[in-house]
Amino acid sequence: MGRSLAGAFLGAGLRTTVWNRTPGKDRELTGEGAAGAATAEEAVSGADLVVVCVVDHDASDTILRRDDVTRALKGRTVVNLTADTPDRARDSARWAAAHGIGYLDGAIMTPAPSIGTPEAVFLHSGPRDLYDRHRPVLELLGGTHTHLGEEIGRAATFDIALLDIFWTAMAGYAHAVAIARAEGVTAGELAPFAQGIGAILPPLFERFARDADSGTYTGEINPVTSAVSTMAHVVAVSESHGIDAGVMRAVEGMARRVIGLGHGADGFIRVAEMLGRH
């Protein structure tokens, strides 16, 4: 991802300095015209804007919080596109403020090949004036850029929530393929119908969002009492083939807890209210 970001800046004609923790990984970029820095301190010293993208905030802290790098960053702006938790973003912002460093946190919601294209999606949070100042450069990365607010943890919050949707959906699809294959249906045969199921979800997301925000939790389309029976069918078929049904058992368990609390006539999104109780 880091190489894709730097490549997009270069492609837009922006003077770009690159540094990678693994020597030699910047060779392709320097061959395209990037200036290669020998150290992280050297990389940040000549830049008004420093974009960081590594595996997590443990890694970015190791780079940015070295004494020499921290000193070199004073008066500059860091845009940290490293994925991690909202609390880690807040901790990074406190560190930056204590050392006179401008700080924006961000999240990239599309894969590396999308960078530099209209399909890229970037989320940002932090001081609005700082974002507005650097937005023209950030927009060279392509796609859409959304400032989600000044509270620094908001980009990471959106990132975590959206990844929650993605990975639980992918786990469901992998499980569905396992069940289908056990019953003699190929993944290729299932795929077009799986896409049809996926197409049902966007309008449900909107409807359930209205329900969750208003507290109505309507079960007009499909009450939890009806939904839970179909979950039980998935569990039964899975386990008849020796396929682990742990994920669906967890979902069924949440639905049955909602019913046990007297909300069986509500829609499934009532689960969100139940999970959010402390």
Looking up residue 204, the CATH number of its domain turns out to be 1.10.1040.10
Percent of the chain with pLDDT over 90: 95
Q: Are 86 and 156 in contact (CB under 8 A)?
A: yes
Question: Do residues 45 and 147 both lie within one domain?
Answer: yes
In terms of Cα–Cα distance, which of 34, 10, 36 is closest to 22? 36
Tell which phi-psi region holds residue 211, choosing left (phi > 0), alpha (psi between -120 and 50) or beta.
alpha
In terms of Cα–Cα distance, which of 68, 54, 51, 42 is closest to 1? 54
Question: Do residues 140 and 207 both lie within one domain?
Answer: no
- Mean pLDDT, rounded, of the chain: 96
Furthest C-alpha separation in the chain? 65
Q: What does the pLDDT read at residue 46? A: 85
Question: Do residues 105 and 241 both lie within one domain?
Answer: no
Q: Which token pair is 94?
A: 């406190």
pLDDT tens readout for residues 109-127: 999 999 999 999 999 999 9
Question: Do residues 211 and 271 both lie within one domain?
Answer: yes
173 vs 64: CA distance, rounded Å: 39
Question: Do residues 38 and 125 both lie within one domain?
Answer: yes
Residue 163 lies in a domain: no
Per-residue pLDDT, averaged over 9-30, amounts to 93
pLDDT tens readout for residues 82-118: 999 999 999 999 999 999 999 999 999 999 999 999 9
Residue type at position 182: A
Q: Are 227 and 268 in contact (CB under 8 A)?
A: yes
Residue 17 lies in a domain: yes
Residue 70 lies in a domain: yes
Domains identified in the chain, total number: 2
Question: Do residues 13 and 108 both lie within one domain?
Answer: yes
Domain end among 105, 127, 151:
151
Per-residue pLDDT, averaged over 65-76, amounts to 97
pLDDT band for position 278 (50/70/90)? low
Q: What does the pLDDT read at residue 218? A: 87
Q: Are 39 and 56 in contact (CB under 8 A)?
A: no
Residue 161 lies in a domain: no
**Bridge-based pairing state of the strands 121-125 and 17-18:** unpaired
The answer to whether residue 130 scores a pLDDT higher than 80 is yes
Question: Do residues 27 and 128 both lie within one domain?
Answer: yes
Helices and strands, counts by H and E, the chain: 12, 7
Residue 168 lies in a domain: no
SS3 content of the chain, % helix, strand, coil (to 5): 60, 10, 30
Q: What does the pLDDT read at residue 277? A: 79
Q: What does the pLDDT read at residue 24? A: 87
Least confidently predicted of 42-46, 102-106, 159-163: 42-46
Q: Which token pair is 258?
A: 């909602």
In terms of Cα–Cα distance, which of 81, 87, 90, 77 is closest to 134? 77
> Which residues, 6 or more positions from 69, have their beta carbon under 8 angstroms from its beta carbon?
40, 41, 44, 63
Domain span including residue 132: 2-151
